[in-house]
Amino acid sequence: MDKDLLIVANWKSNKTNREAFSWLTFFNENKDKINFKNKEIVLCPSFTSLSICRSFIKDNNLPISLGAQDLSEFSGGPYTGEVSASQVKELCSYVLIGHSERKRYFSETQDKIKRKVSQAEENNLDAILCVQNENDFIVDAKFIAYEPPFAISTFGVGRPDAPEHVEKVFSALANKTGAKLLYGGSLALDNIGQYSKIKSLRGFLLGGVSLDPREFINLLLKC
Ligand code: PGA
């Protein structure tokens, strides 16, 4: 691919700090193979590993950015268990908002999503808003990741959407938003190349394939 891409690795609720450290160690030892000029890599570990990842990235001068997988709809205060946007901002430049798993398991509503995107904006975090189809709820965000639930590897059939259909959804989304468009869902080594023909594609959101650093690096070599 000959354009700038945002490659987002969503580790979801996986990896202890020790596992995160060993992923980063492997990545660092093998980074010379990767062309970082045409892509920005955003790692989204759990909140508990953000700090250790940040230190590793800094100490090793790794060209990787960090993202959070969620943030609080509130600006901080008495909200037990929540992580506010200003806290996220201390460690990250990006944040995922409205992922399908949050909608399915954590009652993420449109109102909550709207408030979360505002929190991100107010704190200069780049929001990556996840949508399930072209008619899904959209607010202005820097990035929109189209991830049909059937394509998410841990849901339903876990089969990637056809590039032709992704292109149609992107055209419909482009009529409603100026956001940069990403695709996610069951991406793997043997299918990621097919999406390079989509002109408006500006990146990928990866789940399962990002957990193993070898697989992730091999995939980056194809982008
Ligand atoms: P998957 O997940 O790559 O494992 O399908 C993508 C996602 O849920 O963001």
Q: How high is the pLDDT of residue 152?
A: 93
Q: Is the CB of 160 under 6 A from ligand 1?
A: no
Q: In angstroms, what is the span from residue 43 Cα to ligand 1's centroid?
A: 13
Lowest mean pLDDT among 58-72, 130-144, 150-164, 173-187: 150-164
Q: Is the CB of 96 under 6 A from ligand 1?
A: no
Give the mean pLDDT of 176-201.
95
Gap between the Cα atoms of 141 and 22, Å rounded: 33
Active site residue: 73, 101, 147, 167, which one? Answer: 147
pLDDT single digits (tens) 44-57: 999 999 999 999 99
pLDDT single digits (tens) 86-123: 999 999 999 999 999 999 999 999 999 999 999 999 99
Q: How high is the pLDDT of residue 3?
A: 45
Gap between the Cα atoms of 204 and 222, Å rounded: 12
Structure tokens given for 50? 């953000």
**Claim: this prediction has a pTM higher than 0.75:** yes
Question: Which amino acid is present at 56?
Answer: F
Gap between the Cα atoms of 156 and 24, Å rounded: 30
Gap between the Cα atoms of 84 and 118, Å rounded: 12
pLDDT single digits (tens) 56-70: 999 999 999 999 999
